[in-house]
Amino acid sequence: MPITIKGFRIEHLAMNRQDENGSVKITGTYSIISSADKVIAKQSFGDYNGIEIKPSADTIRKMDEFLKAFRTDLNSTLGMEGGEQ
């Protein structure tokens, strides 16, 4: 019986600020899912051992919007209105 790929699933995603230039680096792992809904392989991305994924301009814009909104939520939760860094 042949194995066919049904799709991919992101298992873990991390966004880390790079001190050198303030940019955000995305790392994580994904699984390849078979048509039988079984994980047939896992691989990392964005680190020294994984594949490199270059985010599109649209992804970068949406990520920046997400981070800004999350900072607002965090500041609100911590009582630090206007305390963005």
- How does pLDDT run across 17-63, given as a tens digit for each residue? 887 887 788 999 999 999 999 999 999 998 888 888 888 999 989 98
Instruction: Round to whole Å and give the CA distance between 26 and 52.
Output: 10
Question: In the chain, what is the straight-line distance between the N-terminal and C-terminal CA atoms, in Å?
Answer: 55
User: Residue 85's pLDDT is what?
Assistant: 55
If one counts the domains in the chain, the total is 1
Q: Which domain holds residue 47?
A: 5-77
